[in-house]
Chain A
Amino acid sequence: MTMPANSPRVGVISFPGSNGDHDALNALQMDVGLHTRMIDYRETDLSEFDAIILPGGFSYGDALRCGAIARFSPVMEPLRAFVDAGKPVLGICNGFQILCEAHLLPGALLRNATLRFHCHWTHIRIETSGTAWTANLSAGDVLRLPVAHGEGAYFASDELVEQLEVNGQIVARYCDAAGNVSEDANANGSVASIAAVANDRGNVVGLMPHPERATNDLIGGADGLRLLRGLLSMAEARA
């Protein structure tokens, strides 16, 4: 795949215990066609990047709480500055947990209500196109993506959920294939069926399902591309 000259540079942070880092890197390089590079968790200069992804996995063996220790990695200070500058950051699965623990996203992720590790395909309904990562999608779009998590039940207090709703920070909800949100479709027991949230500025998004593992029909689905290709429109916007 040829990359447009103005293709944005997207970094993927590899923490000790990340396991979705290569999936994300390969998806961005091979299936989306972007300039990417793995970022070591000890790096402190992120100036070359236009967007950053925190991948899935089990950083620091999930010690204490998922994502609680990764928050102290050297790369997290420059990441905070990157976020403050309004640049796009996406946390997938464990990346979502890390962003919550680092207070870069509201809420927390709890053990699945079933107490089981969930590894299956699911559907999510996009709730807003008002974030950096969903700008080329529309509210109501349904994506079919895989999940792989033990602690994926999103939690926020009732007041916080209401505030997220009012501010348009609920980015996606678990739903059925037709886009209906129901308790049946909300397998892990997330509050308000929330599968993805954004910070108040909309440049940081955390998402429990794995778009980087759904970028080619050969591996069961390509809906993840619809989300990750948003990075290409960022490039067009810059051109």
Chain B
Amino acid sequence: MTETPAMQRWIIEAEIMPKQGVNDPQGEAVLSGLRSLAFDGTRRVRVGKLIRVEVTAGSEGEALAEGTRMCERLLANPVIEEFVVSAAAIG
């Protein structure tokens, strides 16, 4: 007998960053700000975004796969951005 996995609520987090080699003028501006504040050890800054999506899914793998598809199709632009997806159960 196969058990259908119980549906559960998950928070998917998509961390989206500019790809290597893509100019990030925001990161450069933040870097010069940090240096102005005497954070002298600061070497490099990249600015990206974090998107949280609440979904219902049967397992962590399912939630992660869903998040990856969301990034590929809308949340990230693969020409200029790369992403990492994570999922945590809630409720």
- On A, residues with C-beta under 8 Å from B are 64-65, 68, 100-101, 107-108, 110-115, 153, 155-157, 189
Total interface residues in chain B, CB < 8 Å: 11
Q: Are the CB atoms of B25 and A107 closer together than 8 Å?
A: no
Q: A113-B25, A114-B25, A189-B23 are in contact. Are A107 and B79 (CB under 8 A)?
A: yes
Instruction: Check B25 against A189 for contact (C-beta < 8 Å).
Output: yes
With A155-B22, A189-B25 already in contact, the answer to whether A108 and B79 are too (CB < 8 A) is: yes
Neighbouring B residues of A101 by C-beta, 8 Å = 77
Say how far B77's CB is from chain A's closest CB, in angstroms: 6
Measured CA separation A34–B13 after assembly (Å): 50
Interface residues in chain B, defined as those with a beta carbon under 8 Å from any beta carbon in chain A: 21-23, 25-26, 29, 74-75, 77, 79-80
Q: Which residues of A contact B26 (CB under 8 A)?
A: 111, 115
Distance of A108 Cα from B18 Cα, bound (Å): 12
Are A115 and B23 in contact, CB atoms less than 8 angstroms apart? no
Cα separation A114 to B75 with both chains bound (whole Å): 25
Q: Which of B29, B74, B80 touches A155 (beta carbons < 8 Å)?
A: B80
For the complex, what is the distance from the CA of A232 to the CA of B73, rounded to whole Å? 38
Count contacts between A and B, CB distance < 8 Å.
Answer: 33
CA distance A98 to B58 in the complex (A): 35
B22 contact set on A, CB distance < 8 A: 110, 155
**Distance between Cα atoms of A100 and B74 in the complex (Å):** 13
Would you call B23 and A155 a contact (CB within 8 A)?
yes
Q: CB within 8 A of B23: which of A65, A68, A153, A156?
A: A153
Closest beta carbon of chain B to A213's beta carbon, Å: 26
Q: What residue in chain B is nearest A100 (Cβ atoms)?
A: B79
- For A65, give the chain B residue with the smallest CB separation: B77
The contact sample of 7 A-B pairs, CB cut-off 8 A, is: A64-B75, A107-B79, A112-B25, A155-B22, A155-B79, A157-B21, A157-B79
What is the CB-to-nearest-CB distance from A96 to chain B, in angstroms, rounded to a whole number?
14
Closest B residue by C-beta to A160 = B79
User: In the complex, which residues of chain B have a beta carbon less than 8 angstroms from the beta carbon of A108?
Assistant: 77, 79-80
- Assess the A110–B23 pair: CB atoms within 8 A: yes
Q: How far is the CA of A189 from the CA of B23 in the complex (A)?
A: 9
B82 to A: closest C-beta gap in Å: 13
Asked whether A156 and B25 contact (CB < 8 A) given A64-B74, A68-B74, the answer is no
In the complex, which residues of chain A have a beta carbon less than 8 angstroms from the beta carbon of B79?
Answer: 100, 107-108, 155-157
Give Cα A112 to B74, complex, Å.
22
Smallest Cβ-Cβ distance to B47: which chain A residue: A111
A190 to chain B: closest residue by CB: B23
